[in-house]
Amino acid sequence: MTEVEQTPALIVDRATALRNIERLRDYSQQHGLRVRPHTKTHKSLEFAVEQIKAGAVGLSVAKAGEAEVMSQVTDDVLVAYPAIDGPRVRRLAALAVTKTIRVAIDSPAGVAILDDAATEADSTIGILVDLDVGFHRTGVQSSDEALAIAQAVARSKSLRLDGLFFFPGHLRDSVEPQISKLRQVDAIVLDAIDALERSGLHVSIVSGGSTPSLYQLHHLKAITEIRPGTYVFNDMSTVAGGYCKIEDCAARVTATVISTAVPGKCVVDAGTKTLAADRNSVRPESGFGYVVEYPDAKIVRLTEEHGEIDITGCDHSPKTGDRLTLIPNHICPCVNLQAIAWTRNLDGSLQPLRIDARGLIS
Amino acid sequence: MTEVEQTPALIVDRATALRNIERLRDYSQQHGLRVRPHTKTHKSLEFAVEQIKAGAVGLSVAKAGEAEVMSQVTDDVLVAYPAIDGPRVRRLAALAVTKTIRVAIDSPAGVAILDDAATEADSTIGILVDLDVGFHRTGVQSSDEALAIAQAVARSKSLRLDGLFFFPGHLRDSVEPQISKLRQVDAIVLDAIDALERSGLHVSIVSGGSTPSLYQLHHLKAITEIRPGTYVFNDMSTVAGGYCKIEDCAARVTATVISTAVPGKCVVDAGTKTLAADRNSVRPESGFGYVVEYPDAKIVRLTEEHGEIDITGCDHSPKTGDRLTLIPNHICPCVNLQAIAWTRNLDGSLQPLRIDARGLIS
């Protein structure tokens, strides 16, 4: 089979995804950075395996359930999330009996609950202290706070202090190195390292990253590993940021034109329940994705099952029944919406793509 | 069990949902309108059955797969969507062998493909002609176009002309009847009825509706049936529009505070992959939902798995580990995101809620 029977359908081009994975491998090798891809984007063992084949030292996840799934293909999982409530810590502590499990946390309460769970399970959990380097979502606010958590970890029974963690979500929307922001990140990280090491604590891992900041990260002095997610498939936000080109977008939605009744528009069978409602993070005014066959078209409105495309700028018009190829603004929630998806193999054939970690609660 | 073990978790309060269903029943009885709820909101047989018990004449769906699921509990399904491509029409034609299946269409191409499929399956599909009454998404633009489609249906082998269809998506953001818009809708609908009936075609069904327009619809002269979806659970957009109160929101997400490290904020384990990224359709500046325990808080940013809540306006602060109750802006995509959900029974106990029609492709 080379075409999907039913639409809307997410199809991942394996050749493009492998090229994206290789590009990251080359960058990381050039700069001596370890790679720990965030699997939130693909949630699939198929692509996790490709990332590991390309030299990833382990995988990043957001959920305990994702850690369980991804530990099928790696022995080394970082929970890049403050997983500090009862059910999560119990599941992670159990997993840590046989796997290397690390958790990034920003609270003394997290130390206590993770230590209790690991002690109960007779396992050891590695801890990275989460620093707020400017995105202001999670992360401690000072090297004193980082030190307090690190010392609590050092005093704990069943936790191991492994290092520091940050998410530079504010480094984006610019393919050029954002030198002043990078300097601030560096200062915060180096300050924390200094505080810990002066207290006799060893920082072996400094884990940071995102796709928009990806190719700036080697400018950071102390970083040891990077955690991009979106880079594996890319999307219109990464294109708009200048981090990749349209042809690097591996995951695309095939949709069918189901109405052309309203003048100047066509309507496809992909709305927010297929593409997700995310606006382009760099160019929010650009609409809800890109129509490959009609580069001058604009996806002007999404409702749940309808994608409305303004075609007034196009020199010809789609007809009902035509299939169009859409690239979403944000591929991560789009993948998460698909109960069924497809990989296009190198020979052009399609095979089902399992989104193994889709829809897990915690 | 009266509390969920793991978060984030969507919990539907059965008593509230039943009250919402009864309110619609009372309104429809008062005004002599038939009710055909749109099941896109709950996608669940459990609540479809409750709607039918309360007198719904049938159900509305957007997908062929949803029609297959919902036909388990009703013999009468309207596909409120231009389902006019090959796979959809074949599945609907097969279903129409034993069920009453209607499809709303706006193109002559749709007549041909549905007729072929029904003829092939030896079934009959009912057709409603979709009129654009002002939302400009789908629907024919004139009574001449409506007549042309209706006449093509009348000439077809296996289709039955049943009437007219419209989606008044532009009647919203106001609980007061929007008289001038309602008059326009009336004029368009009456004009189409006139064109069809003068050509000897009978219009037995005039189907229209949405939740925001719901309690205005009896002002329309020719409408026979209404198709609200969201009303069963409600959400912050329906609250902001004045169509219901906070206590009428039946479906809420229980989330856990996982970080309080950033001053003035707490972070919960519900982001766009739990709540959906939709802004409030009436008050887009109001944030990404409502925190029941902290009415003065504002959900200021959602990323995939983080919900960031500004608590600077609150007189006390949540702690890590606390559970908060969130009401989403748009409940329909939120329900669609949940692999596992719960119903709170009248006795306070929780039971799993199956989202039977979740994630179906077409």
Q: What is the pLDDT of residues A256-304, one digit of tens each?
A: 999 999 999 999 999 999 999 999 999 999 999 999 999 999 999 999 9
From chain A residues 326-345, the ones with a CB under 8 A of any chain B CB are 332-333, 336-340
Q: Six-digit token pair at B5? A: 């073990």
Q: Do A359 and B336 touch (CB under 8 A)?
A: no
Classified as helix, coil or strand, A105 is: strand
Instruction: Give residue B172's pLDDT.
Output: 82
Q: Six-digit token pair at A235? A: 């999307």
Rounded Cα distance between A252 and A331, Å, is: 9
Is the pLDDT reported for residue A111 higher than 90? yes
Rounded Cα distance between A308 and A119, Å, is: 55
The position carrying tokens 């030190």 is: A147
Q: What is the pLDDT of residues A338-357, one digit of tens each?
A: 999 999 999 999 999 999 99
Calculate mean pLDDT across residues B148-171.
97
Q: Six-digit token pair at A59? A: 């995988």
Q: Chain A residues with CB inside 8 Å of B358's CB?
A: 339
Strand segments, DSSP code E, in B143-242 are: 159-166, 205-208, 225-226
Q: Chain B residues with CB inside 8 Å of A256's CB?
A: 85
Instruction: Give residue B212's pLDDT.
Output: 86
Instruction: Give residue A30's pLDDT.
Output: 97
Classified as helix, coil or strand, B298 is: strand
Is the pLDDT reported for residue B176 higher than 80? no
The DSSP call for residue B345 is -
H-run or E-run covering A342:
strand A341-344
Residue B128 sits at φ, ψ, to 5 deg, of -110, 135
Instruction: Give residue B177's pLDDT.
Output: 80
Q: Do A109 and B321 touch (CB under 8 A)?
A: yes
Q: Chain A residues with CB inside 8 Å of B141's CB?
A: 261-263
Q: What is the pLDDT of residues B204-262, one digit of tens each?
A: 999 998 888 888 899 999 999 999 999 999 999 999 999 999 999 999 999 999 999 99
Calculate mean pLDDT across residues B150-167.
98
Return the number of CB contacts < 8 Å for A and B: 181
Instruction: Give residue B49's pLDDT.
Output: 98
Q: Do B84 and A321 touch (CB under 8 A)?
A: yes
Q: Count how many Cα atoms sit within 13 Å of the Cα of residue B181 in the half-sphere of its side chain.
A: 18
Q: What is the pLDDT of residues A126-165, one digit of tens each?
A: 999 999 999 999 999 999 999 999 999 999 999 999 999 9
Q: Six-digit token pair at A258? A: 């189901």
Is the pLDDT reported for residue B30 higher than 90? yes
Q: How many residues does chain A have?
A: 362
Q: Give me the percent of chain B exceeding a pLDDT of 90.
A: 94
Instruction: Give residue B234's pLDDT.
Output: 98
Q: Chain A residues with CB inside 8 Å of B253's CB?
A: none
Q: Do A333 and B304 touch (CB under 8 A)?
A: yes
Is the pLDDT reported for residue A174 higher than 90? no
Instruction: Give residue A176's pLDDT.
Output: 77
Q: What is the pLDDT of residues B57-109, one digit of tens each?
A: 999 999 999 999 999 999 999 999 999 999 999 999 999 999 999 999 999 99
Q: Chain B residues with CB inside 8 Å of A305's CB?
A: 40, 62-63, 81
More confident: A308 or B215: A308
Least CA distance to B304: which residue of chain A? A333
Q: Quote the mean pLDDT of chain B.
A: 96
Q: Which of A7, A85, A269 sits opposite B256 (nearest CB)?
A: A85
Q: Give me the percent of chain B exceeding a pLDDT of 70.
A: 100
Q: Are B214 and B24 in contact (CB under 8 A)?
A: yes
- Is B356 part of the contact surface with chain A (CB cutoff 8 Å)? no
Closest CA to B354 of B77, B37, B48: B48
Rounded Cα distance between B244 and A56, Å, is: 51
Q: Are A239 and A295 in contact (CB under 8 A)?
A: no
Q: What is the ipTM of this complex?
A: 0.97
- Is B107 part of the contact surface with chain A (CB cutoff 8 Å)? yes
Q: What is the pLDDT of residues A45-85, one digit of tens each?
A: 999 999 999 999 999 999 999 999 999 999 999 999 999 99
Q: Are B101 and B79 in contact (CB under 8 A)?
A: yes
Q: What is the pLDDT of residues A199-237, one digit of tens each?
A: 999 999 999 988 888 888 999 999 999 999 999 999 999
Q: What is the pLDDT of residues B81-90, one digit of tens each?
A: 999 999 999 9
Q: Do A261 and B358 touch (CB under 8 A)?
A: no
Whole-number CA gyration radius for chain B: 22
Is the bond preceding residue A318 a cis peptide, omega within 30 degrees?
no
Q: Which of B137, B140, B305 sits opposite A306 (nearest CB)?
A: B137
Amino acid making up residue A327: I
Sign of CA dihedral B39, B44, B45, B50: negative
Is the pLDDT reported for residue B174 higher than 80? no
Q: How deeply is B349 buried, as exposed, middle or buried, from its count of CB atoms within 10 A (0-12, 13-18, 19+)?
A: exposed
Is the pLDDT reported for residue A173 higher than 80? no
Contacts of A8 (CB under 8 A, 6+ apart): A253, A254, A255, A256, A268, A269, A270, A274, B361, B362
Q: Do B362 and A7 touch (CB under 8 A)?
A: yes
Angle between helices B143-155 and B179-198 (to 10 degrees): 40
DSSP β-bridge partners for residue B207: B165, B225
Instruction: Give residue B135's pLDDT.
Output: 97
Instruction: Give residue B62's pLDDT.
Output: 98
Calculate mean pLDDT across residues B164-189.
90
Closest CA to A339 of A6, A18, A3: A6
- Is A301 part of the contact surface with chain B (CB cutoff 8 Å)? yes
Rounded Cα distance between A143 and A309, Å, is: 50
CA–chain centroid gap for B248, Å, is 16
Closest CA to A192 of A171, A176, A208: A208
H-run or E-run covering A275:
helix A272-275
Q: Report the helix count and the strand count for chain A, using DSSP H and E.
A: 10, 17
Whole-number CA gyration radius for chain A: 22
Q: Are A18 and A49 in contact (CB under 8 A)?
A: no
Strand segments, DSSP code E, in A123-208 are: 125-131, 159-166, 205-208
- Is B289 part of the contact surface with chain A (CB cutoff 8 Å)? no
Q: Mutate one of A7, A142, A149, A269 to test the B interface: name it (highest B CB count within 10 A).
A: A269
Instruction: Give residue B31's pLDDT.
Output: 96
